[in-house]
Chain A
Amino acid sequence: MNNRIKKALSLVASLKVAIALLLLITIYIIIGTLIPQHATQALYQSNYPTLAPIIDALSLDAAYSSPLFISLVILFIINLTSCTLLSLPSQLRRSRSIYMPPFKAESEYRVEEEDEKMVKSYLKRKHYRIDTDEGGFSSGKFRWGALGATVTHIGLIVIFIGAVVGNIASDQEMISLLPGSTREFEEYGFSIHLDDFYLTFEESGAVKQYISDMTITNDDGTTHRQSMWVNNPLHHNGLGFYQANFGWTSDLLIRQAETGESLVSGLIRNGNTYFYQPHHLNIMLYGYFPNMDIDVNQMPYSINNREDNPFYAVVLTQFGVNVGSYIIEPGQVIPYEDIAITFTGSTPYTGIVVRSDPSYPIVVAGFIILTFGMFMSFYLYPRFLFYTNGKLYAESGKNGWVFYQAIKSGITAQRKTGKQ
């Protein structure tokens, strides 16, 4: 191979480059945690007038999807892959069952023990393979632990591949359903029907759980029922359904005041407005407060979501002019000219994240490989022993001292018990 190519390759795979990239990535990530993400330009202009141009130029408002960050991560993965491939032959050589490192007679990691038979007995008990030669014997185990770093790196690369696949192939939408409503997922060959959605409460009134009871109907007509809640998603035909949030839908009823004849009946959510055309009247449901109280600013708020003290805050406007603000109980009437406006009750709707993500199994595989690789590196590292002239030498590279301590205490214990 051309020398220049070799030099370029070793630079790409070098630890120096890896550390430099990791430091840059870390700095970038830290900045990303300090600057609010996905905010408006106006906010950056007002909060960080000096830094706003830099935030804009480096896309720090969307730090983790910015071209600069993605480039740094890709460069790091190239470095990691090259380093892993280049070091693989030597690691494979060291992981072979016949490999022994050079013997260092000057090593301090040695135990004085004349009784060779006892030492052999101890090592056999610890599952060391012993190779006897003229001057004594040598022994080793966990040689394959030399591949720990490679396995760890492969784990990281697999996680990266998973993240890329996730970015390209995952799809997500947020849906909200009222009990009794159905949503089709034609592409996936099924529909879901929300049979019921309800909240359970702690004694304090805090929400204990949000529960959606679903019926899933496949295109072939088969059905099954399943409940989902936070931490218990529903999976079907490659789609995941996750309990994400909830809200209230309130029943608005407008009647003829004199006759009681129903003019309008419909559902309205908090913050939404219904336009009653005959009177040019905007009926805004400022909010439904299931357990209402009044705060220090004389504004209504809900203590919790248990319907212990339900009230509606309603604002009426006509041609942009406020014509009345009311706080009413369910069923209480707001009289306006010849009509009567009431809110008869409220029903919670469920907010569900629907997500397909083919990358997740890849990422989990990466997690497992990464963890196993680290465990190999730290605890299944290669261990070698040389016995000569009544001395047992422990050799285990960077873990030498710890290995030596274990061997020393093991041999001492064996000596005390007198086992052979």
Chain B
Amino acid sequence: MYQSIENTTFMIAIVLYIASAVLSLLSVTGIVKKGGKVATSLALAGFITHTAAMVARTIGAGRLPFSNQYEFALSFSWGIVLSYLVLYRLYGFSAIGAFVMPLAILVMGYASLQSRDVRPLMPALQSYWLTFHVGTAILSYGAFALAAGISVIYLIDEKKKGSQRLVQDPEVSDMLSYRVIAFGILMLTIVIISGAIWAQKAWSRYWAWDPKETWSLITWIIYAIYLHLRLRRNWKGRAAAWFSIFGFISVLFTFVGVNILLPSLHSYAT
């Protein structure tokens, strides 16, 4: 029963997200007037059904949906939409949805291609650190996706003037992108640290240069360089926006690329 609830709510969430993204894009391109609020409401409705899918999965599996590619993609896209909705609640920028919702749809699409079989946790995953490690990864990756979306807005806005802009002051999107990245890197730090502490318990070593942990470190360094260039060299605007997008590509590679291309101790995450 839970499987069918999960499948139904998953599909409804995707449909609502697509509707939200399309309306948001029509709104930012000026084809539909004032569609931003409706698009955000659709994203919120999708988020609620998405949450229902995760709850059904949690009840069906008897644990949080954090342990394989399907479950992480389901949670990752949830984190992206959550980040967007939180930012909307704080600052009211609905245009961001046009660039963030497609990312969420992309990750949901990836989830739909993965096996949905509920399998018991292998011994290495039977730890309370799983929830903490993957939970913070969802928040971190969601924040980086949001920052990439805001950076795209900056790149579009800097060529436009006044009311044509998606966010009236490009400086605001630049600043928001920085703040969201700051949150993302703090969460990523906790992801890496909790992974290291967990690895010490499970595998006797806190660091083993496993491709997944190594690529998390690479992503961390990329965003650390971003923050230093920004804070110490006043490096912002176009270059910072591109750096933020580049950083998110590294996040995606850490999530998908490493699993497909590089043999890893994290191979259970397939």
CA distance A208 to B232 in the complex (A): 51
Given the interface pairs A367-B196, A374-B186, the reply to whether A242 lies near B218 with Cβ below 8 Å is no
> Which residues of chain A come closer than 8 Å to B158, judged between CB atoms?
none
Does A169 make an interface contact (CB < 8 A)?
no
Known: A18-B228, A26-B221. A172 touches B204 (CB 8 A): yes
B127 touching A231, Cβ below 8 Å = yes
* Contact between chains at B197 and A367 (CB < 8 Å): yes
- For the complex formed, measure the closest distance between the CB of A27 and the CB atoms of chain B, giving whole angstroms: 10
A206 with B120, Cβ < 8 A, contacts A19-B225, A22-B224 known: yes
Interface centre among B119, B198, B232, B258 (most CB of A within 10 A): B232
Chain B residue contacts of A30, Cβ below 8 A:
218
| Also in contact, A33 and B186, with CB within 8 A (given A204-B120, A231-B201, A242-B203) | no
With a cutoff of 8 Å between Cβ atoms, the chain B residues found around residue A231 in the complex are 123-124, 126-127, 198, 201-202
- Scan A335-356; emit 1 where CB is below 8 A from any B CB, else 0: 0000000000000000001010
Q: Does A240 lie at the interface of the complex (its beta carbon under 8 Å from any beta carbon of B)?
A: yes
Q: A401 with B211: in contact, given A240-B204, A367-B193 (CB under 8 Å)? A: no
B204 touching A29, Cβ below 8 Å: no
One digit per residue, 1 when the CB lies within 8 angstroms of any chain A CB and 0 when it does not, for chain B 192-217 equals: 01001110111111110101001101
CB pair B172–A401 under 8 Å, yes or no, is yes
Interface contact B193-A371, CB-CB below 8 Å: yes
B206:A363 contact, CB within 8 angstroms: yes
In the bound complex, residues from chain B placing their C-beta under 8 Å from that of A163 are 207
A25 at the B interface (CB under 8 A): yes
Q: Once the chains bind, are B201 and A233 in contact (CB under 8 Å)?
A: yes
CB-contacts of B92-150 with A (<8 A): 119-120, 122-124, 126-127
B190 to A371, Cβ gap below 8 A?
yes
Contact at B126–A209, with CB atoms within 8 Å? yes
Closest to B214 in A: A33
- A210 B120 Cβ-Cβ under 8 A: no
Q: Does A176 have its Cβ within 8 Å of any Cβ on chain B?
A: no
A208 and B171 contact, CB distance less than 8 A? no
Tell me whether B91 and A23 are in contact (CB under 8 A).
no
Q: Which of B205, B209, B232 contacts A37 (CB 8 A)?
A: B209
Measured between beta carbons, the chain B residues less than 8 angstroms from A26 are 218, 221-222
- Our pick among B172, B182, B214 for the contact of A378 (Cβ within 8 Å) is B182
- Size of interface on A: residues with Cβ below 8 Å to B: 50
Known contacts A26-B218, A30-B218, A33-B214, A229 near B183 by CB under 8 Å? no
Contact partners of B203 in chain A: CB under 8 A: 242, 244, 353
Report yes or no: B221 in contact with A371, Cβ–Cβ below 8 A: no
A364 to B193, CA, bound (A): 8
Q: Determine chain B's interface SS by DSSP, over half rule.
A: helix
B189 to chain A, nearest CB (A): 6
Q: List, in ascending order, chain A residues with CB within 8 A of B124's CB.
A: 230-231
A271 CA to B230 CA, complexed, in Å: 59
B239 at the interface (CB under 8 A from A): no
B229 at interface (Cβ–Cβ under 8 A)? yes
B221 contact set on A, CB distance < 8 A: 22, 25-26
Given A26-B218, A405-B91, check contact A208 B200 (CB 8 Å). no
Within B220-245, the residues touching A (CB, 8 Å) are 221-222, 224-225, 228-233
Distance of A305 from chain B, by nearest CB (Å): 12
Instruction: Check A15–B175 contact: CB distance below 8 A.
Output: no
Q: Which residue of A lies closest to B262 (CB)?
A: A33
A163→B196 CA distance, assembly (Å): 13
Check if A370 is an interface residue, CB within 8 A of chain B.
yes
A166 to chain B, nearest CB (A): 8
Question: Contacts A26-B221, A242-B203 known; A398 to B126 CB distance under 8 Å?
Answer: no
B residues in contact with A210, CB < 8 Å? 123
**Residue pair A401, B171 in contact (C-beta under 8 Å):** yes
A238-252 interface code vs B (CB 8 A; 1 in, 0 out)? 001011100000000
CA distance A370 to B224 in the complex (A): 13
Q: State the CA gap A240–B201 with chains docked (Å).
A: 9
20 residue pairs A–B, Cβ–Cβ below 8 Å: A15-B232, A19-B229, A23-B225, A29-B217, A33-B258, A33-B262, A37-B209, A64-B209, A206-B119, A230-B126, A231-B127, A231-B202, A233-B201, A353-B203, A363-B206, A364-B197, A367-B197, A378-B183, A399-B179, A401-B175
Identify the A interface with B (CB < 8 A).
15, 18-19, 22-23, 25-26, 29-30, 32-34, 37, 64, 163, 172, 202, 204, 206-210, 229-233, 240, 242-244, 353, 355, 357, 360, 363-364, 367, 370-371, 374-375, 377-378, 398-399, 401-402, 405
- Give the 10 A-B residue pairs with the shortest CB-CB distance, closest first: A230-B123, A242-B204, A378-B182, A367-B193, A401-B175, A231-B127, A353-B204, A202-B120, A355-B204, A33-B211
